[in-house]
Amino acid sequence: MSGFLPISRSEMLEKGIDRFDYICVTGDAYVDHPSFGIAIISRVLEAQGYSVGIIAQPDWHSVKDFKQLGEPRYGFFVTSGNIDSMVSNYTVAKNPRTEDSYSAGGEAGHRPDRAVIVYCKLLRSAYPDTPIIIGGLEASLRRFAHYDYWDDAVRPSILIDSGAHLLTYGMGENQTIEIARRLATGEPVKNITDVLGTCYVTANENIPLGLVNLPSYEMVCENKKEYCKAARLEIDEHDAISGRALLQKHGKRAVIQNKPMPPLTQEELDKVYSLPYMRFYHPSYEQKGGVPAIEEVEFSITHNRGCFGHCNFCSIAFHQGRRITCRSEDSVVNEAESFVKNPRFKGYIHDVGGPTANFRKPSCKKQLTVGLCKGKKCLAPEPCAALEADHSEYLHMLRRLRAIRGVKKVFIRSGIRFDYLLQDKNDAFFNELVENHVSGQLKVAPEHCSPSVLDAMGKPHIEAYEAFAKRFYERTRKIHKEQYLVPYLMSSHPGSTLKDAVTLALFLKKHNIRPEQVQDFYPTPGTISTCMFYTGLDPYTLKAVYVPRESGEKALQRALLQYFNPNNHALVKQALIKAGREDLIGYGEGCLIPPFIAKKQDFAGANAKNRPHSGLRSLNDRQVPPQKGNGGFRYGKAKQGKPATAKTTKKPVQK
């Protein structure tokens, strides 16, 4: 246990610590692995010479657990964990989840709703004068007034609700180092108002000059166009080069956001990943079977940060940012070589990825000097003319990893941006990806097939996916392998009408896709899609966007994605009639369902000899508790023969 940071009084005394300099509070079980934000922040603090304690998943019904390690000399760093606590606790249907992959044994119920707010109030009760700094995804995405899906209302900044002194947004290593240094020198936390990548609260009469004024909390609550204006400014100014400082008034106080902190340099990022992580959960969780979230990430490697793909429903752009930063090849190879010395390592590196696996360079040189373009996307609806698609460095790194003695296979399980890959004129990466790095299934994210829905999502049109799929299966057949694409698909996204859902069902039938699970759009704080969901407007054009809100319509759209399931017959029939597509009800080859269902074989259809493949829907990368394994939808047939069967699990795990 000596390699882990202390989580109890006994471990604290064992290390000879009478008082911690800083204490980190997290809503996750303590897993000392760099895929956990709190592990990085705590190790970064330790590397600066501070003593650090961990309070993991404290009982929030009293202050007892918050006092177990005593009062730190300088302050608390607080996070809800790797994902928003509300997403962790509830499904998109707002039903309580029965499992939590970030808790020992996968048990649910170990973190409160709105964990950051709850933790901060209890800390304030226990230690009224101790500085509290909040960060992580929940704090970062809720730093301004935001629509909250679970309340179905606009909530104020989490800084206002929590009473914390400072908020670090984005990837917070350098913010943490600067704040910790200044607190340790005795500077009052109320004076620390100029650190890049942070937010603080001040009285309206103390607002600095020269800030961009967002519509106030009161305005965005009352006027949806003002909410759109705020959402667009928040996204557009989240750039380390072109981003400006922002303010948003909340009554007599204002939330001030300083300019973004520049991304870590490659040297700094390498240093972060070289810190002495134990790369496993704390031994105290062993009696419950450990923490499920470690299973997929223990022998996975994160090589990059950021995503210039910027899908509208994804939180990455508003958290990590759109600019790509990456570790050096040597750093990645050194991490892989350390796996070989681990007795649990079986020779398989599960992933070499990040937000998007095949992004390793900026999309163009211009963004390095002037920042990323505001109000535009690098890849959608079509690739920008300035895009530079180059996989050579990523490929070289993968080759080095494959050559390590003791490594049997190197897989890529993070999402591949297929539209970017298609722009690379060199086929070397594509060929080696298909030949060496697919573990039976490859994750890709077309999301939908309707042009209007894809435009609302900020995604390329379906023709790009079809071109990629064709190449993938041609190459797969050529090398005599049986492997499949795992296309993510989403129902009920803003812009998706019932007719669009029918179009998607027909697309699935045409391409022999049978998803076993489907994902409804989940409105999470800070995304453009959530703004559309709340306001019914596109924040960049202020044009009306159709939003499927009612549970009944969502059920119809979701059922259409599983039109082949006999249990969905009544819903699919209702949806087709409502959409005016009764022509799809019948026994013809082009029909989706028969008029009546007496036996399950009525669903066999005209294409029984070319039976579609099925698979388990994975929920990674969208702030949703992930699933174990690499299941998903399958597309087409790579070769004749029995398709691989996706394994299911009751214990969700993570990206």
79 closest CA partner among 154, 164, 183: 164
**Does the annotation place 378 within a ligand binding site?**
no
The encoded tokens of residue 457 equal: 């999502």
Q: Which residues of 606-631 are buried (b: 16+ CB within 10 A; e: fewer)?
A: eeeeeebbbbbbbbbbbbbbbbbbbb
- Chain-centroid distance of CA 107 in Å reads 21
Ramachandran class of 515: left when φ > 0, alpha when ψ lies in -120 to 50, beta otherwise: beta
Q: Output the CA angle 39-45-47, nearest 5 degrees.
A: 100
Query: Cα(607)–Cα(395) distance, rounded to whole angstroms?
Result: 39
Q: Output the CA angle 166-172-174, nearest 5 degrees.
A: 100
Q: 334-339 long-range contacts, Cβ below 8 Å, gap at least 24?
A: 334/274, 335/273, 335/301, 336/301, 336/401, 336/404, 336/407, 337/404, 339/299, 339/406, 339/407
Check: CB of residue 108 under 8 Å from CB of residue 97.
yes
For residue 188, say if its preceding peptide bond is cis, omega within 30 degrees of 0: no
380 closest CA partner among 363, 362, 393: 363
Check: CB of residue 27 under 8 Å from CB of residue 87.
no
Query: Cα(37)–Cα(83) distance, rounded to whole angstroms?
Result: 10
**Does the annotation place 307 within a ligand binding site?**
yes
52 closest CA partner among 83, 92, 87, 7: 7
**Does the annotation place 311 within a ligand binding site?**
yes
Q: What are phi and psi of 111, to 5 degrees?
A: -135, 145
Q: CA distances (Å), 161 to each of 120, 153, 255, 323, in order?
A: 9, 14, 12, 30
Q: Can you say whether the dihedral through the CA atoms of 199, 203, 206, 211 is positive or negative? A: positive
Residues with Cβ within 8 Å of residue 109, at least 6 apart in sequence:
100
Q: Which helix (H) or strand (E) holds 410?
A: strand 409-410
Q: Which residues of 223-239 are buried (b: 16+ CB within 10 A; e: fewer)?
A: ebebbbbbbbbbbbbbb
Check: CB of residue 310 under 8 Å from CB of residue 458.
yes
Check: CB of residue 234 under 8 Å from CB of residue 245.
no
Residue 403 burial (10 A CB sphere; 0-12, 13-18, 19+): exposed
Q: Output the CA angle 607-612-618, nearest 5 degrees.
A: 155
The encoded tokens of residue 344 equal: 């649990």
Give the annotated binding-site residues for [4Fe-4S] cluster: 307, 311, 314
Give the annotated binding-site residues: 307, 311, 314
